[in-house]
Amino acid sequence: MPPAMTWLIRHGQSASNAGLPAVGAENVPLTDLGREQARALAARVEREPDLLIVSPFVRSQATAEPIRERWPFARCETWPIHELTYLSPARCVGTTRETRQPWVDAYWQACDPDYLDGADAESFRAFMERLNAFHQRLLTLEGGLVIVVGHGQFFSGFLLGLSKGFVVTADWMKGYRASEIAKPLSNCEIVELRGEVLTGS
């Protein structure tokens, strides 16, 4: 049986969220506001989680740190639930959101699940494989509360997969983009999922 309750939490405000120039996909730090959000988040965790799962990216690790400080004996694991890096980080270094917007638009207009923007980028097909692997791994867990600190794009894809299946098609990709734009997760927003949601029962 999966956990009775799973919290999906997007990281606090990052430098990229604030519109600052990109420094690479993995190493984007939190802003001062993001650190404040992380501390406020930890205050909402009123019981020790059975497991804390965190993305390897710096902004997620920093968001989870106040939770770890509050509950130092809670088990914590790093899982590959990082952001979808569909643009090559190497060519994005030093760019702003405005600079990247034409590249972003071209990527989503093409909606090619197998497109790879560079050796350091990820295809949408590989992203879908990570989403499905995360789901399968969650189903093997037990406990009353599992907290997952990661990224908006990843969680948006996961939630869509729970309702539509984890398939790899251009239409699914289009639907994902539309839902992500329509209802983006806020920084440090908590999405609560009960066990029966994860199993589809």
> What is the H or E stretch that residue 72 is in?
none
The predicted structure's pLDDT at residue 28: 87
Write out pLDDT tens, residues 44-95. 999 999 999 999 999 999 999 999 999 999 999 999 999 999 999 888 888 8
Residues 6+ apart with CB under 8 A from 185: 10, 152, 155, 156, 191
The confidence band for 18, taking pLDDT boundaries of 50, 70 and 90, is confident
Q: And the tokens for 9?
A: 């939490």
Write out pLDDT tens, residues 172-190. 999 999 999 998 999 999 9
- Please answer whether residues 12 and 60 qualify as being in contact, where contact means their C-beta atoms are separated by less than 8 angstroms: no
Averaged pLDDT of the chain: 94
DSSP structural state of residue 118: S
Domains (ranges, CATH) in the chain?
5-199 (3.40.50.1240)
Kind of pairing, strands 51-54 and 76-78?
parallel
- Please answer whether residues 156 and 182 qualify as being in contact, where contact means their C-beta atoms are separated by less than 8 angstroms: no
- Please answer whether residues 197 and 141 qualify as being in contact, where contact means their C-beta atoms are separated by less than 8 angstroms: no
- Alpha-helical regions (H) of 10-84: 32-44, 58-70
- Please answer whether residues 159 and 22 qualify as being in contact, where contact means their C-beta atoms are separated by less than 8 angstroms: no
Q: Flag whether pLDDT at 1 surpasses 90.
A: no
- Please answer whether residues 60 and 72 qualify as being in contact, where contact means their C-beta atoms are separated by less than 8 angstroms: no
The predicted structure's pLDDT at residue 22: 63
Residue 161: HSE in the Cβ half-sphere, 13 Å Cα cutoff: 22
Q: Is 71 helix (H, G, I), strand (E, B) or coil?
A: coil
> What is the H or E stretch that residue 121 is in?
none
pLDDT (average), residues 94-104: 90
- Please answer whether residues 59 and 28 qualify as being in contact, where contact means their C-beta atoms are separated by less than 8 angstroms: yes
Q: And the tokens for 190?
A: 């908590």
The predicted structure's pLDDT at residue 95: 86
pLDDT (average), residues 154-168: 95
The predicted structure's pLDDT at residue 201: 62
Q: What is the percentage of the chain residues whose pLDDT exceeds 90?
A: 81
The predicted structure's pLDDT at residue 26: 83
Distance CA 68, CA 111 (A): 39
